[in-house]
Chain A
């Protein structure tokens, strides 16, 4: 298989308006990735799937990654001349900057026809709150169907063009995205609103006061006031 740089150059030649960057993996595995812009992602994916030299017909793994906002401390060494005329002193200056957070979708592509791979694609959202839409690659690889639904469920990335974007593992009424790094599990995580709470409240009104549970005055007795 051609190298990732060659693939990137071919993509840039084929799609001049697209932005394709190489994301270097510093680890021992050295599996580098291509960062695509959302506008051209689906066209590029189709090209990668159908190109006769690559034929990446198999999308193995699709997953989300959460990158929250991070504070990065840059240290710059500066030499400060001594006003008294001595040797210049080296002073470290620290400056803080905020690296904006984003959500990322990662696609691992292989070719079953030519038996090579992986080519890793990454898509990034604008931020983690309101610009969380990415193009769905399910129309290109059906394999992404359940996995993109899972990312939508657990990370909150909205895949536009997905045929059936619903929660998959959590229940439909669930509000949050539990795989995000800032997710805090509630203490009573097993509590769900059920119709029984309301029914129970209404049923309480029918009980005589003596049977009321000890927690506070009952509905009936509060209306009638204290017993004489």
Chain B
């Protein structure tokens, strides 16, 4: 590819024009296509059944989140961050709180740090188990694995609801801590759920991992080269499936993650199957983190008593806060000019940037494979389009 002379080159497929091959066919998949997980469109050019070109089209859910956040106070856009990645509002909240705390130098009490890790890892369980369900939906198993995942997800969402008042739009983090302290009953219920989760994972894996159709449809499909993936800024399980060891929980060690003992699973082939296995293995590691968090959870306040909620004006400057969301590196870049509103508020959406190499992953495969590859990247359109 001459467009990128300085970088690694992905696979390319050329359409052949002779008497055995017909014309190219351009198909517009989406925006209202069940496999695109929202309003997302792919303009696919086909040579027979093979994809020779794929252009993603975004913006159907664009509401200029950043502009709205720049015209309201810092705290005012906290509930709105829930709507970015509406499956993982707890970790999106945390990413925003992390950036604002970095901007203003706000301290966070120990108990809140632990609770944030509990919420973020529970969110990871929700996201990954649902993603695997949706991936199998894309593979054609009509809803059975997804409903198994939803059964577990509802239990976690019930916990979120009893704590924050909302199943999905939790709005739980604040600058300098968390909004409410969970009761001992809540913690006991959460711990019971986490203790039972490996049983669900075993059951899930028995059904899915060795499935012959699943192996045939995912192994070797949508392969990514690690150098290419790093250059394209891919993060999260999609990157680690290529074997690149880059997990912000280890690299940045934000929050209290350095206190926890867990491993970062890595793939070897960078194909759809590895991306599936990353999710399963990460859920097992999340369970380990959660059990350590419940064991070590200290007593104390959940909010820094010096934290200022009203009239919050960080001094002029800028900060880029990022964390390892379930989908990849979720970052918030804030510039303050000393006023109550951020001068610049930017979300670095992992879902959008992980789509950079969608075309390279899909070239040479069929449309049915493109659906599975897109499912394995794990996008949420609320975050892609913002």
User: Which A residues contact B (CB, under 8 angstroms)?
Assistant: 25-31, 46, 57-61, 63, 65, 106, 108, 112, 115, 118, 120, 138-147, 154, 163, 167-171, 178-179
Contacts and interface: CB of A to CB of B under 8 A. Distances in A.
Contact of B346 (A31, A61, A171): A61
Given A63-B344, A170-B59, A146 B353 contact: yes
B288 to A, nearest CB: 23
7 contacts: A27-B336, A46-B6, A144-B233, A154-B64, A163-B3, A167-B59, A179-B66
Interface stretch (B11-19, B195-203, B266-274, B314-322): B314-322
Contacts of A25: 317-318
A143 B356 CA distance: 7
A31 B319 contact: yes
A25 to B, nearest CB: 5
B322 A60 contact: yes
Contact of B320 (A61, A141, A147): A61
B64 A58 contact: no
Contacts of A163: 3-4
A58 to B, nearest CB: 6
A63 B319 contact: no
Interface string B241-268: 0001010000100000000000000000
Contacts of A171: 59
Contacts of B333: 61, 63, 106, 108
B151 interface: no
Nearest to A170: B59
Interface in B22-78: 58-59, 62, 64, 66-67
Contacts of A61: 320, 322, 331, 333, 346, 348
Nearest to B7: A142
A63 to B, nearest CB: 4
B232 A142 contact: yes
A139 B4 contact: yes
B317 A142 contact: no
A146 B331 contact: no
A146 B59 CA distance: 12
B352 interface: yes
Contacts of A27: 103, 314-319, 336
A142 B333 CA distance: 20
B233 A60 contact: yes
Given A28-B102, A65-B344, A179-B66, A60 B315 contact: no
A57 B335 contact: no
B104 interface: yes
B5 interface: yes
B6 A140 contact: yes
B282 interface: no
Given A59-B233, A63-B333, A112 B244 contact: yes
Contact of B348 (A60, A65, A115, A120): A60
Interface residues of B, number: 48
B233 A143 contact: yes
Contacts of A145: 232, 356
Contact of B329 (A29, A60, A138, A179): A60
Interface in B70-106: 102-105
Contact of A142 (B4, B66, B105): B4
B6 A29 contact: no
A108 B320 contact: yes
A171 to B, nearest CB: 7
Contacts of B319: 27-29, 31
A63 B346 contact: yes
A212 B333 CA distance: 55
A23 B329 CA distance: 25
A143 B352 CA distance: 10
B318 A58 contact: no
A147 B356 CA distance: 10
Contacts of B228: 142
B239 to A, nearest CB: 8
Contacts of A106: 333
Contacts of A108: 320, 331, 333
Nearest to A145: B356
B318 A141 contact: no
A81 B292 CA distance: 74
A125 B314 CA distance: 28
B317 A26 contact: yes
Contacts of A63: 333, 344, 346, 348
Contact of B103 (A29, A115, A142, A170): A29
A144 B352 CA distance: 11
A196 to B, nearest CB: 20
A28 B105 contact: yes
Interface string B192-218: 000000000000000000000000000
B180 interface: no
Contacts of B105: 28
A183 to B, nearest CB: 8
A58 B102 contact: no
A27 B321 CA distance: 13
B385 interface: yes
Contacts of A120: 320
A65 B346 CA distance: 9
A107 B355 CA distance: 19
A182 B353 CA distance: 28
